[in-house]
Amino acid sequence: MITESEQQYLAKLITTAREKIKEQYGVDFGNTLKIDLTKNMDENKKTILDSLKIEKERLVINQNEAKKQSVSVAREQKKKTEQERVNAENERIQKMKEDEEKTIKAWKEQFNPEMIIKSPAYFEMEKYIEMVCAGFSNFCVVVSQGGLAKTWTSQGILKKKCKDYAYLNSFTTPLELYNFLYDNRQGKIILIDDCEGIWESKSIVSILKNATELNGTRTISWNSTTDKLDGRTNTCEFDSRIIILTNEIPDTDENPHLQALLNRAFLCRLNFSFREKMDIIKEVSKKEFQSLNTDERKEIFEFVERNTSEATQDLSIRTLIKCYQFYLFDKTIWKELSLKILKANPRKEVVLELMKSGRPVREQEQAYYERTGHSRADFFRVKQELIPKRTEYAKVA
């Protein structure tokens, strides 16, 4: 038998154990712990502690199982969410491609020769594209700053010079490019317009090398098995011709594969002077734009012309379009908004001022250093940007 004080001690032990289990595991231990009056104090205490140990082990096991199940559910949910995201992205890309095709088709149907931007700056590009159309060249690459209508002008030339051409102007994977070239492999002019990442992809460069081979029969291939060929064969003869428009070409010194591709091309680098850019922008201002009439477009162009110079940063057709949009948004403050984007490069402004000063070059260099803190080499680099070389064109090979 146990004494009354021992019973009180054991009762308190049971209560404390129940509270700790509830606090730690969130579970009510219930009334499974009992005091056995036929046993002594030590036996009761051992029974209580053993029961407590067993219950804790059970709860730990249950808790671990619950965690595993929770992790598994979370993984499944994450996998499901990721798949939904991928499906949504694929649908978005597909919709974008369908919209692009509709836009291109509508553009071709509505095109008229007056849409071509007329500027001497495009002379070499126009002749190179005409060479491709006439079959004197299989491959041409045109490089220039974006936003100066090389896409617009090249499509205008193609519309006039060839009956049919294919146009690709969205992000493309190597397989997508193979499928596109495969579908347009017979006697077409293919215009690839600054597709993001094509120069960095070894697979894409390899496909283009085969498609633009200078000698013998040209053959393109896809060397791995995939159901995304959609019935196309893994290889085919290719006798179409390719024009690529791009804003820049990476350094080829450490990329012999890219250099080998460009060796097959007639490469035209368009370096527009400030005056040539303004001539192009003026031509664009003569074209219709939303609800703006002729006088309004002329007013906006003349404002842009008055407030720009060789030092203006990122001057392009997009600059004019943004000013159009400011005007359509609010005719009372459009000039203030436009001036915010007609920013000049401070270092170019200094060099331009010094060039116009008539001072000897050595004094200009020193004055540039004193006013900007930049070196002699930087002075000549900025000066070179202000006076670009005449449009460069050369057959690389």
Question: For 77-100, what is each residue's pLDDT tens digit?
Answer: 888 888 888 888 778 767 766 665
pTM of the model: 0.58
Total number of domains in the chain: 4
Alpha helices in 162-315 (DSSP H): 174-183, 202-211, 256-262, 274-285, 294-306
The answer as to whether 115 is a domain residue is: no
Residue 45, judged by CB atoms within 10 A of its CB (0-12, 13-18, 19+), counts as middle
One domain, residues 206 and 236: yes
Cβ atoms 249, 198 nearer than 8 A = no
Mark which of 243, 272, 301 sits at the end of a domain. 272
One domain, residues 288 and 363: no
The answer as to whether 41 is a domain residue is: yes
Would you tell me how many other CB atoms lie within 10 Å of the CB of residue 127? 14
The answer as to whether 153 is a domain residue is: yes
Would you tell me how many other CB atoms lie within 10 Å of the CB of residue 278? 18
One domain, residues 220 and 129: yes
DSSP designation for 359: -
Position 238 scores a pLDDT of: 93
The answer as to whether 143 is a domain residue is: yes
Mark which of 110, 142, 177 sits at the end of a domain. 110
- List the CATH number of the domain containing 251: 3.40.50.300
One domain, residues 214 and 321: no
One domain, residues 54 and 25: yes
Position 106 scores a pLDDT of: 53
One domain, residues 103 and 182: no
Mark which of 78, 110, 142 sits at the end of a domain. 110
Cα 347 to Cα 381: distance, rounded to the nearest angstrom: 11
| Digit-coded pLDDT (tens) for 188-223 | 999 998 776 788 888 999 999 999 988 778 999 988
Would you tell me how many other CB atoms lie within 10 Å of the CB of residue 222? 21
Q: Which residues, at least 6 apart from 56, have a Cβ–Cβ distance to it below 8 Å? A: 21, 25
42/389: higher pLDDT: 42
Position 34 scores a pLDDT of: 67
| Digit-coded pLDDT (tens) for 51-85 | 777 777 777 787 778 778 887 888 888 888 888 88
One domain, residues 5 and 138: no
One domain, residues 242 and 364: no
Residue range of the domain that includes 339: 275-344
Cβ atoms 158, 133 nearer than 8 A = yes
